Structure 1
């Protein structure tokens, strides 16, 4: 579709006896408006071949940021298996096997604004790589030699939208003092690991979070919980813009119940889960004062028997309408996509997935 749009423009110029350089005469805002509608992969491969101006605009930082925001709803749901990475796109919910497992090193640890963090264990050392699957830019990060190997769930990546900085955070054990510390690295600037100063609340002691199995990176902040659906109301958050830690409590209505964190575009949300429950969605409105606001309540259609009487756990939002759920049916579980506006349910043909093996990813032109 994207290629046909550009081809139509080029063909129109040719029919009028013009060459593609005449496209440079179009106003910049018109060109940007056209390019914003096209996929990141096609822009990276072909925009500069159509017109020099088109190439320059598509490579500008302002355009790259605008393009990312425009296409946030066109995300992919990446599923990390032992030897492969599969994806489900938000548009048609079609399951496809990607080539991420063969093109890049190791397993996915996190995703932020189109940039993926991979990790690969080598003896007692865990190597990290950052890559953009669209531009094929890949960067191996320096080793953190003074630490022992820590679970990959204690690492993630975040892009700070206000500055454009991309930061990687990981938990490590300082061998000199025998204590666990948070380390952060800023891509392209310092390229070395720094200890985050110990200004965190007592509840944010890194040693308390060695059992992390869920990590989400949303809008420059990384959030951790210690299970997929839990009764412990605590959430650990690290704001990588200011490199400040927070100890949060989920909404009071979730205390003593099963709940989970889910990503909804550029928002982090808390949702309750269970059997035959009215699912509620709370958005974290203010990280600094631990303020949550209720934005949505979901009652499953009585006509969908699969969602009635079975334990349902939200996994992620593909857009503002489609919620992906893991549904426990007897001794097995199935993954479904539920359209909350239409009340329609579609079973996805994928195997059982663990919460920490799925990632919401949006293709982008972000460089580092």
Structure 2
């Protein structure tokens, strides 16, 4: 930027205040304008201020598009591509944002989205090989490849999280055949066994039921939380938590529910929350108001996003695999699946929006069960794709 440009005469605090109001991708681009702007957009106080403004929380959707013929992985033509889009909780119809697009020619088990955490998406590239994507910075990373003897189980992945003390992205895995838990991280050469291997019965009581529910853990307060999978004595439910620092498992009280496998956990305004889809006419929202004391409170009852008797409503735990729930810091919660989505305001205590057009079969857009929140933090493990090392991606538009 020329020294005579009028914007150069603005105080740095004013420039920072202006840049704070830009969308994430433009903040990253503005850092390339000049050294001064680069210094502003990478300063810790700027990143902290941006975090306080809260990036929109979104559910992810799979959109099927006409293929880009120049980028097919096999050099030929494909009739269709897959794109991941973000549907912001408050206004999913108006602000759909394209995150990443990749060829549909990639086998389903190789291009599968496994998880989303701290602004990163985790894909399964091949058996034992995983790709991480930062769609805001448009960068990629790889987790260490699993040795062949660790790949005998079809789906060893159980939890993806960002480990704050080390600055690493980590994947918690379990081998049913070896009956061991291990962690794969961006800062290690290979898998690492847990220091204190949990009770082997946990694999029977916790891991095997998860195989049929595809439940996604929620990261909060340094723990991963999985929804309750069974009723205890007296009708109580227990959720399983994994402490990412001590690397130990524990049981916590869950929300009251007659159908624990119909409950989906999510995070909202710093609280662990649960949406119970066990009833046909409504969805109950529970919040863990006292995390240490494990005290849950039933706060809201949302009208069902599906019509009475609709085939769209999940009837069992299998149907929960396509259900999405997310909350933002404005008090909005979105619940539903491909057959119905509603936005409920916890502050106004009413449904404020029914989503009809964003996710319908005719639009070739289908809801994912994953939640995405962009981040401006730059992690050293991510690199810009410059070669065929990252064939999953071929377009960002």
| Shared fold (TM-score, shorter chain, > 0.5) | yes
Q: Which residue of 2 aligns with 1:7?
A: none
Distance 2:283 2:251 in 1: 24
Q: Does 1:84 align with 2:82?
A: yes
Q: Which residue of 1 aligns with 2:142?
A: 140
Distance 1:354 1:203 in 2: 37
Q: Residues 89 and 326 of structure 2 are in contact (CA less than 8 Å); yes or no, is this contact kept in structure 1?
A: no
Q: Does 1:343 align with 2:351?
A: yes
Q: Does 1:22 align with 2:9?
A: yes
Distance 1:37 1:97 in 2: 20
SS at match of 1:268: strand
Q: How does 1:60-75 map to 2 (within 5 A)?
A: 60-72=43-55, 74-75=56-57
Which of 262, 278, 286 pairs up with 1:282?
A: 286
Higher relative contact order (CA 8 A, sep 6+): 2
The root-mean-square deviation of aligned C-alpha atoms, in Å, is 3.8
Which of 310, 315, 320 pairs up with 2:324?
A: 315
Cα deviation, 1:121-145, whole Å, max 9, x if unaligned, reads: 2xxx321112211112211111121
Distance 2:61 2:369 in 1: 5
CA apart distance, 1:38: 2.0
Q: Residues 156 and 173 of structure 2 are in contact (CA less than 8 Å); yes or no, is this contact kept in structure 1?
A: no
Q: Residues 118 and 130 of structure 1 are in contact (CA less than 8 Å); yes or no, is this contact kept in structure 2?
A: yes
Q: How does 1:254-333 map to 2 (within 5 A)?
A: 254-256=257-259, 259-265=262-268, 266-276=270-280, 279-285=283-289, 291-294=294-297, 296-300=299-303, 306-308=306-308, 311=313, 315-319=324-328, 320-326=331-337
Q: Which residue of 1 aligns with 2:27?
A: 43
Distance 1:315 1:33 in 2: 34
CA apart distance, 1:168: 1.6
Q: Residues 269 and 284 of structure 1 are in contact (CA less than 8 Å); yes or no, is this contact kept in structure 2?
A: yes
CA apart distance, 1:256: 4.8
Q: Which residue of 1 aligns with 2:219?
A: 218
> Residues 165 and 244 of structure 1: is their aligned pair in 2 closer, same or farther, counting only changes over 3 Å?
farther
Question: Which piece of structure 1 moves more, 130-139 or 239-248?
Answer: 239-248
Q: How does 1:74-113 map to 2 (within 5 A)?
A: 74-80=56-62, 84-87=82-85, 88-94=87-93, 95=96, 98-102=99-103, 106-113=111-118
> Residues 323 and 92 of structure 1: is their aligned pair in 2 closer, same or farther, counting only changes over 3 Å?
closer
Q: Which residue of 2 aligns with 1:34?
A: 18
Tell me the number of residue pairs that the alignment of Structure 1 and Structure 2 aligns.
328
Distance 1:173 1:276 in 2: 37
CA apart distance, 1:149: 4.1
SS at match of 2:26: helix
Q: Residues 287 and 299 of structure 2 are in contact (CA less than 8 Å); yes or no, is this contact kept in structure 1?
A: no
> Residues 218 and 69 of structure 1: is their aligned pair in 2 closer, same or farther, counting only changes over 3 Å?
farther
Q: Residues 120 and 127 of structure 1 are in contact (CA less than 8 Å); yes or no, is this contact kept in structure 2?
A: yes
SS at match of 2:122: strand
Cα deviation, 1:285-337, whole Å, max 9, x if unaligned, reads: 46665x13216212539xx9x555654776212422232223xxxxxx61212
> Residues 293 and 211 of structure 1: is their aligned pair in 2 closer, same or farther, counting only changes over 3 Å?
closer
CA apart distance, 1:172: 3.8
Which of 125, 128, 141 pairs up with 1:126?
A: 128
